[in-house]
Chains A and B, each alone.
Chain A
């Protein structure tokens, strides 16, 4: 089959690879009908996440039709349409039973390695590093789904691929980011990053009833999409983020702050972000935590920092004393996708929200590598790319 394959930094190719096969009784094979490029894929593209190997098939936002099931899979029929969550979960371990699907204790087949590097393993993820199992990804014609009887979301026939696809990652990611803020009617929620995850977090914060939602980025098209839902835009290249946030909150600071940027925060001319760039290039630090620092500084005392943005390793100069003294709560993690998708599927079905608003580009899978560059460089006002195998 054809698939997008990681060969090294900024080197992804449309290659021919062996077809996936059923390996375990709980496996299924799906024929991918739509997949997308995620901001997390860019971190892999830039080789900031350790333990990728040349030859790895990438992609973790995908959906399709069941073509084959293992002997232990009784709840999927051939031809059924499913979205596959990017976090693989067994549904049986202690973490899964608590709803902590992204911490499933059984789905990471490289558990010994992960135990060493993270202290304790996290769940297996599709199309990601070998630290999370090194499972082949879904930017491909076919995908093997381990623990398929638990790792799937059924899609109503009435829903298009475009409406359903993001149930596998960015919609529940933006949703969990907002839910873990425990939003109150009186809250101002500030969201850094108006990429696809930020866009979903904005909509989620509005649905969850925030008084005021503010979005911070530098790309006018992304800010315009945020404003379309009712968020107040701040362009960090034109204005001071801290000053504007204090102005908009009677000098109290936002109650809840969400980092939808992650480890590749843009060097915005601040000394700290320039130092981070130098350190990252010379491998003295793996991540650029400018957004984290800004959130800790500006957040109201007792507030919540919600961090869906991905970090890979070590960060430098985090004002932890400030965070401690202000009594901030940090909530973070890869998304427990299936914990939220029942509710979210219903909300899409009822017309409360339609996540397809975020798609700006659709292309053939063959053009995927070029689309990585378009998305990376934000060319042609690109926000979200959907690929068709």
Chain B
């Protein structure tokens, strides 16, 4: 058995990997963006040619915050995958906005499209590497430890070897014997 070969971190003397740090960065970014979408959907919509879609932008904001909070938890991988899905939705929405945008909005939307495309790549790489690094057990089937009874003299002789040692302050079970003793009149 060689535990070092299965270490999930690139540096065994640190538990947090670069990927973990990037995932947390994405989490905070998500929360920040989500807040903007919820607080200022009107300005955002006008800038990107998405007027009249404020409700949608706010819903996206909720989605961003949810993914962000989750990405900061101790199991960030699903959240980053959710972000990848969200990115695709954002790209599609921006593309729709591009159709009926004026020239200024077109320029903004194209910049936004490029930015989201960039983030999508980061999300995808981070999600994939989180899954590869920290996916529980990496698809192993558990080892068989059925030879480890822990009883050097055998499990059969261990059974009851310490029977009846419960200290008085730990005796909490109602048993027929104890009940009889309790019901007997005092001498």
Residues of chain A having any CB pair with chain B under 8 Å: 7, 9-14, 45-47, 99, 179-180, 182-185, 187, 199, 203-204, 206-209, 219-222, 224-225, 227-230, 255, 281-282, 302, 304, 329, 331, 343, 347, 351-355, 357-358, 360-363, 366-374, 377-383, 385
Contacts and interface: CB of A to CB of B under 8 A. Distances in A.
Interface of B: 1, 3-4, 6-9, 11-16, 20, 69-70, 73-74, 134-138, 140-153, 155, 158-167, 169-175
B155 to A, nearest CB: 5
Contacts of B134: 373, 377
The CB with the most chain B CB atoms within 10 A, among A7, A12, A381, is that of: A381
Contacts of B149: 228-230, 357
Contacts of B160: 185, 206-209
A307 B8 CA distance: 32
User: Interface SS of chain A: helix, strand, loop or mixed?
Assistant: mixed
A209 B148 CA distance: 20
B1 A224 contact: no
8 contacts: A10-B16, A47-B74, A361-B1, A366-B13, A373-B7, A374-B6, A380-B140, A381-B145
Nearest to B155: A230
A358 B151 CA distance: 12
Contact of A203 (B145, B150, B173): B150
Contacts of B12: 366-367, 369-371
A355 B172 CA distance: 28
A70 B12 CA distance: 36
Nearest to A14: B13
Contacts of A208: 160, 162-163, 165-166
Given A9-B74, A357-B149, A369-B13, 12 more contacts: A182-B172, A209-B159, A209-B160, A209-B162, A224-B143, A228-B148, A230-B155, A281-B73, A352-B161, A358-B148, A366-B13, A380-B3
A10 B74 contact: yes
B15 A331 contact: no
A335 to B, nearest CB: 13
A382 B1 CA distance: 11
Given A10-B20, A374-B8, A379-B140, A207 B161 contact: yes
Nearest to A367: B12
A357 B141 CA distance: 20
Contact of B3 (A207, A281, A353, A361): A361
Contact of A221 (B4, B144, B169): B144
Contacts of A304: 172-173
Contacts of B151: 203, 206, 229, 352-354
B153 A224 contact: no
A377 B20 CA distance: 14
Given A11-B16, A380-B1, A185 B162 contact: no
B4, B144, B162, B167, most chain A CB atoms within 10 A: B162
B150 A358 contact: yes
Contacts of A185: 160, 163
Nearest to A356: B150
Contacts of A182: 166, 170-173
A69 B1 CA distance: 39
A45 B20 CA distance: 14
